[in-house]
């Protein structure tokens, strides 16, 4: 159940050009949040900006009762968030949305992300990592993460530590493989079987990942983004097109998602790409 919480920021640091990581102390979020869920943050104490900003939960530390958010400065809201410092408090509504389906039935796991979409994937790897400690051989975790160029690479070490295989692509080839991360995934799927694929990132990327997963008959979950109002399913602004019977309907990203099985999502009108 989501709550409105006033929590303390323990750390705030720049990870790369315009990318920040905020570590927040929160007993409630750290104990209850699941991978794929997000929080809705108030960016200031005043009435401006009016809306909260949705940010995915990147990681939790249940022992230390903390969680991490990683975000890119895009506009006024994220700019205000980036200026918050250790010791400041932050008004959080969360945890929100439906998590990724994490199951010990899945042994060979791939996460595929691009840009700011990579952050929630770390939480998935952490969850499987816990299973892996008990039963080391059974699990095989792979991450495929894409960036624009060398300078926009973030959390590389964290990803490498959290999985068995981590492959990176950059659009300009300045690091890792040149091209899109979907290319890496196609190459990998042509020679190796996966039980499940989780993806988050630009719409065009997720669409391609979903198609590729379909081709190889691998179940796949996507995490969608949409502009939000309430974040809890009351205002109906965060619509996304999903299959319904033989037709379609508008579901809502905050309440029905943000995570969907990819074969439910209709990507044709999957709106503006924020990237």
Partner 1 sequence: MKGIDLKVSIGALKLKNPVIAASGTFGFGREYSEFIDLNRLGGISVKGLTLAPRQGNKPPRIAETPAGILNSVGLQNPGVHAFLRDELPFLKQYNTAVIANIAGNTIEEYCEMAELLSASDIDAVELNVSCPNVKQGGVSFGNTAAGVSEIVGRVRPCCKKTMIVKLTPNVTDIKEIAAAAEASGADAISLINTLLGMAIDIHRRKPVLANNTGGLSGPAVKPVALRMVYEAANTVKIPVIGMGGITCGEDAVEFLLAGASAVMVGTANFTNPHACMDVLKGIENYLKMYNNHCIYDIIGKLVVNQ
Ligand X SMILES: Cc1cc2nc3c(=O)[nH]c(=O)nc-3n(C[C@H](O)[C@H](O)[C@H](O)COP(=O)(O)OP(=O)(O)OC[C@H]3O[C@@H](n4cnc5c(N)ncnc54)[C@H](O)[C@@H]3O)c2cc1C
Ligand Y SMILES: Cc1cc2nc3c(=O)[nH]c(=O)nc-3n(C[C@H](O)[C@H](O)[C@H](O)COP(=O)(O)O)c2cc1C
In the complex with partner 1, the residue whose CB is nearer, 92 or 145, is: 92
Q: Does 183 bind ligand FES (CB under 6 A)?
A: no
- Asked if 235 and 252 count as a contact pair (C-beta separation under 8 A), the reply is no
For residues 75 and 247, which CB has a smaller minimum distance to ligand X in the complex? Answer: 75
Select from 90, 21, 91 the least CA-distant residue to 59: 21
Binding residues among 55-94 for ligand Y as defined by CB under 6 A: none
For the CB of residue 266, give the shortest distance to partner 1 in the complex, in Å: 12
Phi and psi angles of residue 204, each rounded to the nearest 5 degrees, phi first: -60, -40
- For residue 57, the SS3 value is coil
Residue 46, exposed/middle/buried by CB under 10 A (0-12, 13-18, 19+)? exposed
User: Rounded to the nearest whole angstrom, what is the least distance from the CB of residue 66 to ligand Y in the complex?
Assistant: 34
* In the complex, minimum distance from the CB of residue 235 to ligand Y, in angstroms, rounded to a whole number: 4
Catalog residues that contact ligand X under the rule CB under 6 A: 38, 51, 53-56, 70-72, 74-78, 116, 119, 225-228, 258, 274
Tell me how far, at minimum, the Cβ of 225 lies from ligand X, in Å: 4
Short-list 38, 196, 43, CA closest to 120? 38
Find the residue with minimal CB distance to ligand X.
75
- What does the block give as tokens for 1? 């159940």
Stretch that binds ligand FES, among 24-32, 95-103, 186-194, 226-234 (CB under 6 A): 226-234
Rounded CA gap, 35 and 161, in Å? 18
Task: Report the interface residues with ligand FES, using CB under 6 A.
Answer: 228-231, 233-238, 252, 254-255
């Amino acid at each position: 159940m989501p709550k409105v919480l006033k929590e303390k920021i323990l750390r705030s640091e720049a990870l790369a050009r315009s990318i920040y990581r905020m570590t927040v102390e929160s007993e409630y979020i750290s104990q209850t949040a699941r991978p794929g869920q997000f929080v809705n943050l108030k960016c200031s104490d005043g009435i401006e900006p009016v809306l909260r900003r949705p940010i995915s939960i990147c990681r939790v530390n249940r022992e230390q009762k903390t969680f991490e958010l990683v975000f890119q400065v895009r506009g006024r809201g994220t700019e205000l968030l980036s200026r918050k410092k250790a010791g400041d408090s932050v008004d959080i509504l969360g945890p929100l949305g439906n998590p990724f389906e994490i199951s010990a039935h899945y042994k060979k796991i791939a996460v595929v992300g691009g840009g700011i979409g990579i952050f929630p994937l770390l939480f998935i790897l952490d969850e499987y990592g816990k299973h892996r400690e008990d039963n080391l051989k059974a699990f095989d975790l792979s991450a495929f993460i894409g960036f624009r160029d060398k300078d926009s690479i973030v959390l590389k070490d964290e990803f490498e530590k959290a999985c068995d295989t981590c492959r990176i692509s950059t659009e300009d080839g300045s690091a890792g493989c040149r091209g899109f991360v979907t290319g890496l995934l196609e190459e990998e799927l042509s020679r190796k079987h996966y039980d499940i694929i989780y993806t988050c990132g630009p719409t065009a990327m997720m669409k391609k990942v979903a198609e590729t997963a379909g081709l190889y008959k691998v179940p796949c979950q996507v995490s969608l983004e949409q502009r939000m109002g309430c974040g809890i399913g009351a205002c109906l602004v965060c619509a996304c097109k999903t299959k319904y019977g033989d037709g379609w309907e508008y579901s809502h990203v905050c309440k029905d998602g943000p995570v969907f099985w990819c074969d439910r999502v209709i990507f044709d009108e999957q709106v503006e790409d924020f990237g």
